[in-house]
Amino acid sequence: MNGFDAYQLGRRGTIASWLLAGAFLILIGAFFRTQVIQHEKFALQAQTNRLRAIPIEPPRGEIVDRNGQLIAENVPGFSVKLLAPKADSLRAVLRQFSQVVPLDSFDIEEALRRYRGAPYQPVVVLGDADFEDVSRLEEHRALLPGLIIQSEPKRLYPQGRAVAHLVGYVSEVTESDLATNRFPNATLGSLVGKAGLEREYDSILRGRAGVRYAEVNARGRLVREDVGSASLPAVAGRQIRTTIDLPLQRYIDSIWPAGVRGAMIAMTPSGEVRALYSAPTYDPNVFVGGIDAANWRLLNTDSARPMLNRAINGRYPPASPFKLAISAMALRRGLIDFDTHMPVPCTGVYRLGNRGFKCWKKEGHGSLDLTGAIAKSCDVYFYQVGQRLGLEAIIQDGILMGFRDRTGIDLPSELSPQFPSNLEYFNKLYRGAGNWSAPATTLNFSIGQGENDQTLISMIQFYASLAGDGKEPIPYLVHPTATTRHSTGLTEQQLDGMRHALIQVVEAGTAAASRHKDLLVAGKTGTAQNSHGKDHGWFIGFAPADHPQLVVGGIMEFAEHGTVVAPYVINALRRYILGPSEPTEMVRVLTDETVQGDSAPRPVQLPDSVPRPDTALRRPTP
Amino acid sequence: MFYGLVILYSAGQTDIVTQAQGVWYHQFIWLGVGLCAAWVTFKTSLRLLEWGAPALYGFSLILLIAVLVVGTGAGTAESSKSWLAIGSHRIGQPAELAKLAAVLMMARYLSGLKEPPRSLRDLVMPCAIIGVPFLLVMKQPDLGSAMVFIGILFSMLFWAGVRPRLLFMLASPGISLLLAFSNYAWGAWMVLCFVLLLLWRPYVWESVTVYLANFVMGVVAMPAWKHLSPYQQNRLLTFLNPEVDPRAAGYHAIQSKVAIGSGGWFGTGLTQGPQKRLAFLPEQHTDFVFSVVGEELGFIGVLVALSLFLALFLILLRVARRASDPFSSLVVFGIIGLWFTHVFENVGMTVNIMPITGIPLPFFSYGGSFFVICCLCLGLAARVSWDSRMSGYTEI
C-alpha cells in the first residue's frame, strides 16, 4: 500500500503526537482547574458531604423571684437522638430501640414525622431520658446504628403547678413557628418558650445553640460521633429576675380550694406583680423533653381548661367592683360627692318606665350616701348615678380609664377586655337602634353588668390606681412594656374618700365577716351574673388601707358570691404584709359564715337570636 | 501497570464493606492471565493474525449478537446487556474483544488497498467494518464502547493516509447532529460546511451527499433524541449541567468532581481519601478509579498518571512508525486510537469535560476481559517492535 513510506509516516506521526499532546493538555488543564484553582470550593463541599451538624442545646437562663428564689432552673438531663439515612432505616432502628427502651406507637410516628420534616438531621427520640434508660441504650449501642446520646441541660420548675401560668413552659420549636419566624435564631430542634415568661422573655432566656459535627458516610450512616475540629460551644441564656414573691405565690396555691376555677393576682400599687395564679393549673414539667400524647390529650380535652390563664385570658362581667369605676366617673365630672344622697331611696327595687330593676337586698337599703352605697353595694343608688352620667359618658370615661385596653403586662397573649367603643356598638350588636333600650343598658352598665367583660388583671390595675396616686400602673413581672398610663382623674381627696368607702366594705359592709383587727383591708366584693350556671365571685382589695402596699384580686367561677372569695384574698394580703406567722385556718371558717349576698339584677334579657360578642371565655360551661 | 494496581488496592479500602474490597486481589490473578496472554501474542506472528482477522472479527460479531439475545447486565452497567454468561457465571464482555477484532480487521482491509481511500465511496467499506459492531454495541446499549469504535475508525483512517478534509466530511454529519439542538449553531454550521465544500471542491456528488447528510442529521436530531432511552438522555443532560439533578443523575458527576477537587496539589494520601472511604464516590474501582487518584494523590498524582499514558502512547507511536509492514503499523496505531479514546473519555468524565459513560480506564479499572485485552494489545505492540528491529528497518 502506498502512503507508508517513512516520510509520510513521519509526517502523520508528528501530527498524531501533536494531537495527543493537545488532548492531554486539555485533560491536565481540566484537572488543574478542579484540583488547584477550585480546590477550596470542593474541599468545603467534601466536608459538608461527610459532616452532619448536631446542635448542642444551650442551658436556658434561670427565672428567679424578687429574692432570688428559683422559679425555673436547669438540671442535667439526657437526650437520645438517632441519625438515620432513610425513613425506612429509622423505622427499623426504632423497632430495635423499643426492645431496649419501650416506645409507644405515637413516639415512633412522631420521630418519623420529625425526620421527614428535616431529613439528614439527627431526630430526637427521647427528649428527657433518665439515667437508667441511657445506660441500657449504651449497652445495646451495637444494635442501634446512629445512636447519639447527649448530655443536655433539662428545664425544671421546682414549684411546678404553683407557677405554671406564670412561668409557662418550653417545648421544641414547630415548623410553623420557624416559617413565621416567631423565634428569631431558633433552628429545628431548639427548645423555645411556649407560654408565660418563658415565651415572653424567650430571646433572653434561650441563649445560642452550639454545634458539633459527626461524620457520616454516603448512605448517611454515622461513622464517628465526634469530630473534634470545628465545633461551636453553646452560649447560655441569661437569667431573669422577676417581681414575683415566690412564698406568696406558693401560699396562694396552697390555700386555693380544690376543684374551684378562677384566678388571683397580687400586685403592688406601682405595678410590680407579686403573684399571678390561675386554677386549675398544670405541671409545666410534663412538657420537658416533649409531652407525651396522653398528657397532651388530657390537658387539651379537660373541660376545666387547665391551660387557660384565667388571670389575663379570662373575661368576666366586672359586676360590683365596677361600681367604683362608676363612682370615679361621677366624682370626676363633679356630678356627685361622697355625701350625695340619691333622689330615690333604695326600697329593693328601682322603677324605670314599666320595668323594675332590683337591688340585691330585697328589703332595700333606704337612703344612702356614696360611701354607704359602696359599702353596702347598693344597686339602686348606682342605677341613679349611672343615669346621671348617661351611657355615652360611661363609655367615654371607661375608655379613658383603660377598661377597653390591655394592661400591657409582660405576658404573652393577654386578652383585651370587652368594652364598647361608642353607642354605635350597640346598634351594630342588636342590628338597629330600635332593638335595644339605652336607659336599661345604662342601668346594667352602672352595676358592672351588660356588654362589659373585664379581665382580672384589668380590674386589679384599676384598683391599684385607687390604692396609689390615681394613675393606673402598668403591671409587670420583669419590666413594663407599655408607656402610656390611664388615669382615673381623681383628686387626692377623692381618692381618700374612695379608700375610706372601701374600708367600710370590709369593716361594716358586704365583706364584714372577713375583717381582722390587726390589718386594715380595703376592698370590694362582686357577684358576676352568669346565665349558664352559678354566679362568679369577685373580691379585690388592698392593704394596709391607709398606705397600701399590695393589691390582691381574686375571681372564682361559680362561687355564687364575692364574699366566698374575700377571705382568700384577705389571707393573701395578710400573709404578704404580716408574714407567714399568721394562722390561715380561718378561711374555711369564714366561708361558712358568709353574709347575705350582694346580687345584682339579671341583665336585660336579650333574644337568643342576638349574637353576643366573643363569649368563649366569658361563659364557661360547668 | 503497577501504578494502576496500587490505586485499585486503595480503591478497595473503604470504611464500608463494598464489593470493591477484594478486587485488587482478583486483579492480580487477571494480571497473571494477562501476562500469559501477552506472552502468547508476543510469540504469535503478525501474519497469522492478519490471516485470522476475518475469523476473529466474525466470531466477535457472533458474540455481540449472542449477547443481545442472552446477555446479562451487571456491575457498572446494570441496565445494559453487555455481559456474556454461561449459566450464572459471567465470562466477559464481548465488546472488548470486538474492539480488538475491529482493529485487526480494519488493518487488514486498509493495508490491502493500493492507495489510501480518496473519496467517500472508498470509505464505505471501512465504515461498514466499524459500523456493524458499532451498531450492535449501541443496541446493548453501551454508549461508551460505541464511541471507542468511532475513535478507532478515525484514527486508523488517518494513519492509513486519508486526507483530513475527507475525515472532516465523514465527521460532519455527526457534528451536525450535536449542533442540531440549537438553531443558531446549526445554521452557522451549515454555512461553514457550504463554504468549506466550495473551497475544497470534492466531487459534486460527494458535496451533495455530505451536505444532504448534514441536513438530514440536523432534521432528525430531535426525533432521534426522543428515541434514546431516558438514562442516556439523562447522562448527556447532566454532562451539560450536573446540578440539574444532584441526587440522582448528576450524582456521579458531582461526587467525582468533589473528590478530585478536594485532593488539591498533593491529595489526602494513599488509601486516606474521605470521599472514597465514606463511599460518596461511586464505582471507585471501575469507572471512577481515576477520581481516587485525584483525591488521594492530588494533582501531582494525576500528572504522573497522565504522563505515563502519554509516554505509552508516544512509544506506541514510534513503534507504529517503525513497523515493518503497513498491517502491523495500522494495528499498533489502532491500539493507540482504542486506548486514547478510553483514556480521554474516562479521565475526561471524572472532571466533567466528557459525558459519563461506563467505560474503563486501561490498566487501572477492575475488569477481567478488558484487562486481558489490554495485555494482548501490549503483547502485539511488543511483537511489532521486535519484528521491525529484526528486519533492520530503520527510522529516518
The CA distance from B63 to B86, in Å, is 12
The CA distance from A616 to A618, in Å, is 6
Asked if B132 contacts B61 with a C-beta cutoff of 8 angstroms, the reply is: yes
Per-residue model confidence (pLDDT) at position A77 = 83
More confidently predicted of B377 and A69: A69
Q: What is the nearest CA distance from B20 to chain A, expressed in angstroms?
A: 15
Asked if A78 contacts A134 with a C-beta cutoff of 8 angstroms, the reply is: yes
Partners of A23 on chain B (C-beta within 8 Å) are: 340, 344
The CA distance from A117 to B26, in Å, is 45
Per-residue model confidence (pLDDT) at position B83 = 52
Q: What is the nearest CA distance from B183 to chain A, expressed in angstroms?
A: 28
Partners of B261 on chain A (C-beta within 8 Å) are: 34-35, 38-39, 41-43, 45-46
CA distances for A406 relative to A401, A412, A413, A471, angstroms: 11, 11, 10, 15
The CB density around residue B15, as the number of other CB atoms within 10 Å, is 15
Per-residue model confidence (pLDDT) at position B44 = 78
> Out of B114, B298, B310, whose CB is closest to A35?
B298
- Number of domains, chain B: 1
Q: Specify the DSSP class assigned to residue A343.
A: S
B261/A34 CB distance under 8 A: yes
- Positions in chain A whose pLDDT score sits under 50: 585-622
Per-residue model confidence (pLDDT) at position A610 = 36
The CA distance from A507 to A511, in Å, is 7
B206-243 tens-digit pLDDT: 777 777 777 777 777 767 667 766 766 666 665 555 55
Question: Strand A240-241 vs strand A63-64: parallel, antiparallel, or unpaired?
Answer: parallel
B340/A20 CB distance under 8 A: yes
A16/B116 CB distance under 8 A: no
Per-residue model confidence (pLDDT) at position A618 = 36
Place of cell 507508508: A4
B262/A42 CB distance under 8 A: yes
Partners of A48 on chain B (C-beta within 8 Å) are: none
Per-residue model confidence (pLDDT) at position B4 = 45
> Out of B113, B280, B310, whose CB is closest to A24?
B310
Asked if A309 contacts A340 with a C-beta cutoff of 8 angstroms, the reply is: no
- Three-state helix/strand/coil letters over A168-207: CCEEECCHHHHHCCCCCCCCCCCEEECCHHHHHCHHHHHC
Across chain B, which distance is largest between two alpha carbons, in Å? 65
The CA distance from B64 to B97, in Å, is 9
The CA distance from A194 to A287, in Å, is 10
The CA distance from A530 to A261, in Å, is 14
Dig out the grid coordinates for A19 from the structure: 494531537
Collect all residues with Cβ–Cβ distance below 8 Å to A268 and sequence separation of at least 6.
Answer: A243, A274, A464, A549, A550, A551
B353 to chain A: nearest residue by CA? A30
The CA distance from A275 to A71, in Å, is 12
Per-residue model confidence (pLDDT) at position B246 = 47
Place of cell 419501650: A102
Per-residue model confidence (pLDDT) at position B270 = 58
How far is C-alpha B313 from the geometric centre of its chain's CA atoms? 14
Helix or strand or coil: residue A193?
strand
Dig out the grid coordinates for B197 from the structure: 465544500
Helix or strand or coil: residue B136?
helix
> Out of A15, A21, A30, whose CB is closest to B351?
A30
Domain contains B115:
yes
Domain contains B395:
no
Phi first, then psi, for residue A368 (nearest 5°) are -125, 155
Domain contains B224:
yes
DSSP labels for B286-306? TTTHHHHHHHHHHHHHHHHHH
Closest CA to A216 of B13, B11, B19, B279: B279
A27/B344 CB distance under 8 A: yes
> Out of A10, A45, A217, whose CB is closest to B258?
A45
Domain contains B396:
no
B137-158 tens-digit pLDDT: 777 767 778 888 888 888 888 8
* Residue A533 falls in which region: left (phi positive, over 0), alpha (psi -120 to 50) or beta: left
Place of cell 454555512: B191
The CA distance from A377 to A598, in Å, is 7
- pTM given for the model: 0.61
A402-445 tens-digit pLDDT: 899 888 888 888 889 999 988 888 888 888 777 888 888 898 89
Partners of B329 on chain A (C-beta within 8 Å) are: 4, 9
The CA distance from A472 to A488, in Å, is 7
Domain contains B353:
yes
Collect all residues with Cβ–Cβ distance below 8 Å to A29 and sequence separation of at least 6.
Answer: none
Q: Calculate ∠ Cα B13-B15-B18, nearest 5°.
A: 70
Closest CA to B345 of B265, B263, B288: B288
B49-85 tens-digit pLDDT: 888 888 888 888 888 887 776 655 444 444 445 555 4
Per-residue model confidence (pLDDT) at position A268 = 93
* Residue A105 falls in which region: left (phi positive, over 0), alpha (psi -120 to 50) or beta: alpha
Buried b (16+ CB within 10 A) or exposed e, A170-185: bbbbeeebbeeeebee
Question: Strand A210-216 vs strand A51-56: parallel, antiparallel, or unpaired?
Answer: antiparallel
How far is C-alpha B106 from the geometric centre of its chain's CA atoms? 16
* ipTM score above 0.95: no
The CA distance from A456 to A312, in Å, is 6
Dig out the grid coordinates for A215 from the structure: 461524620
Per-residue model confidence (pLDDT) at position A580 = 77
The CA distance from A129 to A126, in Å, is 6
Domain contains B286:
yes
Task: Provide the residue range defining the domain that includes B59.
Answer: 2-390
Q: What is the nearest CA distance from B335 to chain A, expressed in angstroms?
A: 13
Per-residue model confidence (pLDDT) at position A607 = 37
B235-245 tens-digit pLDDT: 666 555 555 54
B16/A20 CB distance under 8 A: no
Partners of B309 on chain A (C-beta within 8 Å) are: 24
B116/A35 CB distance under 8 A: no
Collect all residues with Cβ–Cβ distance below 8 Å to B277 and sequence separation of at least 6.
Answer: A217, B13, B14, B15
Q: Specify the DSSP class assigned to residue A64.
A: E
Partners of B277 on chain A (C-beta within 8 Å) are: 217
The CA distance from A144 to A81, in Å, is 11
Per-residue model confidence (pLDDT) at position B284 = 59
Dig out the grid coordinates for A449 from the structure: 353588668
The CA distance from A376 to A368, in Å, is 9
A contact set with B (CB within 8 A): 1-4, 6-10, 12-13, 15-17, 20-21, 23-24, 26-28, 30-36, 38-39, 41-43, 45-46, 49-50, 215-219, 221, 223
Q: Specify the DSSP class assigned to residue A61.
A: P
Dig out the grid coordinates for A276 from the structure: 399571678
The identity of residue A75, as a single letter, is: V
